[in-house]
A = this chain, B = another copy of it.
């Protein structure tokens, strides 16, 4: 069934059928009804490729999940507690707005080209990029092609400086505020020996959380100690090894701030195996508030990152930008919230 068939059946031309479908104002109510009736009767929907080719939108957005770090490990996207709900939330939100979502995962530097390619092939009207190590080069190239892009967790300064012009929105959360709050909470409980299990520092949130941790300690008259400065890279396995090494030194802080919950849960696993009690012997704090955070025992004290709101905002922004061809780089920041559960207590 093509528009021509509908036209014949309704006794009008293809032009009129198209006008009805695209809701043009200059078609009389009676004609519209007549055409609509046939369309409905035959369950007709225009061929999306033909529409797109003739100049209409694809009504599709691309969602690109970048996770280079985990490329060769078993920890692919589908096991990632952070991205998984984000993907689902984007799909939900976009579908509710009648937009299709093409999801792509980027596992290697070589795969970055796929982002550009998807746009070159005109498969989508706009894109959302989330993940670690987002390639600024690709972002600049897509921006130069004129496609709207929403980027999650990226330094706004870097974008401004390195991309310059484009239709770009950057969404971050208040990692600084969140870090400050949870460190202050530890400080106020009486902790002075607070270690850190840091995330990836080529990640904006990784850097902010790390730097805010240090700044907050120093502001409170405490010098961060190198031996409690662990690198976990946001990855469970690496975090686990770092904590094992820490335990071996026999010199534990009274609290450990883990820059994401995945690492915090890994740390708790190691400590539990070593018979070190959380929170009695050591307090563990996380970040993100992923779903398992409330399920582990003791339940994790952490900073809630509003991942669903971020996803919703990303879709809203990207759809808004499709209709607006103005070159414009904007930044949005979503509120984090301290979530106090059971994994932290006063030091003994």
Interchain CA distance A89-B292 in the complex, whole Å? 20
Report the minimal beta-carbon distance from A271 to chain B, rounded to whole angstroms: 14
Residues of B with C-beta under 8 A to A100: 102, 104, 118, 123
Residues of B with C-beta under 8 A to A50: 49, 53
Q: Interface segment, A23-31, A80-88, A190-198, A316-324?
A: A80-88
Q: Does A105 contact B (CB under 8 A)?
A: yes
Interchain CA distance A308-B49 in the complex, whole Å? 32
Q: Which A residues between 297 and 343 are near B, CB-CB below 8 angstroms?
A: 297, 308, 311
Q: Interface segment, A40-48, A149-157, A212-220?
A: A40-48
Given the known interface contacts A53-B53, A91-B103, A103-B91, the answer about A121 and B46 at a Cβ–Cβ threshold of 8 Å is yes
Residues of B with C-beta under 8 A to A97: none
Residues of B with C-beta under 8 A to A311: 78
Provide the A93-115 mask, 1 if CB < 8 A to any CB of B, else 0.
00100001111110000000010
Q: Does A9 contact B (CB under 8 A)?
A: no
Closest residue on chain B to residue A297 by CB atoms: B297
Q: Does A92 contact B (CB under 8 A)?
A: yes
Report the minimal beta-carbon distance from A272 to chain B, rounded to whole angstroms: 9
Q: Does A348 contact B (CB under 8 A)?
A: no
Q: Does A252 contact B (CB under 8 A)?
A: no
Report the minimal beta-carbon distance from A259 to chain B, rounded to whole angstroms: 19
Q: Does A226 contact B (CB under 8 A)?
A: no
Q: Does A246 contact B (CB under 8 A)?
A: no
Q: Does A77 contact B (CB under 8 A)?
A: yes
Interchain CA distance A295-B95 in the complex, whole Å? 32
A84's partner among B88, B103, B105, B114 (CB-CB below 8 A) is: B88
Q: Does A276 contact B (CB under 8 A)?
A: no
A101's partner among B83, B102, B291 (CB-CB below 8 A) is: B102
Q: Does A202 contact B (CB under 8 A)?
A: no
Report the minimal beta-carbon distance from A236 to chain B, rounded to whole angstroms: 12
Report the minimal beta-carbon distance from A267 to chain B, rounded to whole angstroms: 13
Interchain CA distance A101-B104 in the complex, whole Å? 7
Residues of B with C-beta under 8 A to A95: 104-105, 114
Residues of B with C-beta under 8 A to A92: 76-78, 105
Q: Does A244 contact B (CB under 8 A)?
A: no
Residues of B with C-beta under 8 A to A136: none
Q: Does A160 contact B (CB under 8 A)?
A: no
A49's partner among B43, B45, B49, B117 (CB-CB below 8 A) is: B49
Which of A78, A105, A292, A296 has most B Cβ within 10 Å? Answer: A78
Residues of B with C-beta under 8 A to A43: 116, 120
Closest residue on chain B to residue A268 by CB atoms: B295
Q: Does A52 contact B (CB under 8 A)?
A: yes
Q: Can you name 29 A-B pairs with beta carbons within 8 Å?
A: A43-B120, A45-B120, A46-B121, A47-B121, A47-B122, A48-B122, A49-B49, A49-B52, A49-B53, A76-B92, A77-B88, A78-B85, A78-B87, A79-B291, A84-B84, A84-B88, A87-B87, A87-B103, A91-B103, A91-B104, A91-B105, A95-B105, A95-B114, A100-B102, A100-B123, A101-B104, A291-B292, A295-B296, A296-B296
Q: What are the 10 tightest A-B residue pairs by CB atom distance, in nearest-first order? A: A78-B88, A297-B297, A49-B52, A49-B49, A48-B121, A49-B53, A45-B120, A78-B89, A84-B84, A78-B85
